[in-house]
Amino acid sequence: MLIRIVKIHLLTDQISAFKILFYAAQPEILKFEGCISVELMRNPDHFDQYFTFSKWTDEESLNQYRNSEFFITTWRKTKLLFAEKAIAFSMVNLN
């Protein structure tokens, strides 16, 4: 299993727009082959710092999603809401 975490620092006035975009995209992301789950979390100490946490069966599935027209279009809209560049991490679950 591959876990993907993306740290996102949002522009303060774009938090609501980001949430709308995420929750509209979430069910579509879950339809991609190999996507097990995708969640949105917020840093409790920083109201403008969010994380997406997704689980994939393997790296190939994640890459197919990242190369899809859906991701490219959604990411283009989403990154306009960022205060700084997002940071992404992929990890393999050892359990």
Do 50 and 24 form a contact (C-beta atoms < 8 A)?
Answer: no
Q: Phi, psi (5° rounding) for residue 84?
A: -155, 170
Instruction: Give the count of domains, the chain.
Output: 1
Q: What is the pLDDT along the chain (95 residues), one digit of tens a residue?
A: 999 999 999 999 999 999 999 999 999 999 999 999 999 999 999 999 999 999 999 999 999 999 999 999 999 999 999 999 999 999 997 87
- What pLDDT is stored for residue 83 in this prediction? 97
Note whether residue 95 is domain-resident.
no
Note whether residue 29 is domain-resident.
yes
Q: What is the 3-state secondary structure (H, E, C) of 28-41?
A: HHHCCCCEEEEEEE
Distances (CA, A) of 82 to 7, 29, 54, 94: 10, 20, 19, 32
CATH assignment of the domain containing 50: 3.30.70.100
Note whether residue 40 is domain-resident.
yes
- What pLDDT is stored for residue 93 in this prediction? 79
Range of the domain at 11: 2-88
Note whether residue 83 is domain-resident.
yes
Single pTM value for the model: 0.92
Q: Find, among 9, 25, 3, the residue nearest to 83 by Cα.
A: 9
